[in-house]
Amino acid sequence: MFQISKEASCSSEATEDSVLLQLQQLSLPRYCLLCLFHTVHHLGPSSGLRRENPALLAAELVHLFAMCVKQSVWSSADPVAQEVSQHLQQVLILLGEVLEKYRYWLNNWSILQNEDF
* Tally of CB atoms within 10 A around 64: 16
Q: What whole-number distance in Å separates Cα of residue 3 and Cα of residue 97?
A: 63
Residue with the bigger pLDDT between 10 and 103: it is 103
Over the stretch 67-91, which tens digit does the pLDDT of each residue have? 998 888 888 888 888 888 899 999 9
Least confident of 24-28, 61-65, 76-80: 24-28
Domain extents in the chain = 25-70+81-116
The pTM of the full predicted model, rounded to 2 decimals, is: 0.66
**Mean pLDDT for the chain overall:** 78
